[in-house]
Chain A
Amino acid sequence: METTILDIQKIRKDFPILNREVNGKPLVYLDNAATSQTPKQVMDAIVDYYSNYNANIHRGVHSLSQEATDKYEGARHKIQHHFNAAKAHEIIFTSGTTHSINIVANGFTTLLNKGDELLVSAMEHHSNIVPWQMLAERTGAILKVIPMSIEGELVMDEYDKLLSNKTRLVFCNHISNALGTINPIEEIIQKAHKAGAAVLVDGAQAAPHIKADMQKLDVDFYTVSAHKMCGPTGVGMLYGKEEWLNKLPPYQGGGEMIAEVTFEKTTYADLPHKFEAGTPNICGGIAFGAALDYMNGIGFDAIAAYEHELLQYATRKLLKIKGLKIYGTAKNKTSVISFNIEGIHPYDIGTILDKLGIAVRTGHHCAQPIMDFYKIPGTVRARSCFYNTEAEIDILVAGVKRAAAMLQ
Chain B
Amino acid sequence: MITQSYYYHKPLKGCATYRIFAQMAAMEIKEIQQDIVDEFSMFEDWMQRYEYMIELGKSLPLIDEKYKTDDNIIKGCQSRVWVHAELEADKLVFTADSDAIITKGIIAILIRAFSNQRPQDIIDSDTQFIDEIGLKEHLSPNRANGLVSMIKQLKLYAVAYQTQLN
Contact residues of A with B, CB < 8 Å?
A: 23, 344-348, 351-352, 354-355, 362-363, 377-378, 406-407
Contact = CB atoms under 8 A, between A and B. Distances in A.
B134 to A, nearest CB: 11
A347 B51 CA distance: 15
A347 B50 contact: no
B78 interface: yes
A377 B81 CA distance: 12
A355 B102 contact: no
Interface of B: 46-47, 50-51, 54, 78-80, 99-103, 137, 144
Contact of A407 (B99, B101, B137): B101
Given A348-B102, A362-B144, A407-B54, A355 B47 contact: yes
Contacts of A354: 137
20 contacts: A344-B101, A345-B100, A347-B100, A347-B102, A347-B103, A348-B79, A351-B102, A352-B50, A352-B102, A355-B46, A355-B47, A355-B50, A362-B78, A363-B78, A377-B80, A378-B78, A406-B50, A406-B54, A407-B54, A407-B101
A347 B138 CA distance: 12
A378 B79 CA distance: 9
Contact of B46 (A23, A344, A347, A363): A23
Residue among B51, B100, B101 with max Cβ neighbours from chain A (10 Å): B100
A347 B54 contact: no
Nearest to B146: A347
Contacts of B144: 347, 362-363
Given A362-B78, A362-B144, A377 B99 contact: yes
B51 A377 contact: no
Contacts of B103: 345, 347-348
Contacts of A345: 79, 99-101, 103
Closest 7 CB pairs of A and B: A345-B100, A347-B100, A347-B79, A347-B78, A363-B78, A348-B102, A348-B100
A348 B79 CA distance: 9
A345 B100 CA distance: 5
A345 B103 CA distance: 10
Nearest to B51: A406
A318 B154 CA distance: 39
Contacts of A352: 50, 102
A353 B78 CA distance: 16
A406 B46 CA distance: 12
B142 to A, nearest CB: 11
Contacts of A347: 78-79, 100, 102-103, 144
Nearest to B99: A345
Contacts of B51: 406
A354 B47 CA distance: 12
Contacts of A355: 46-47, 50
A393 to B, nearest CB: 22
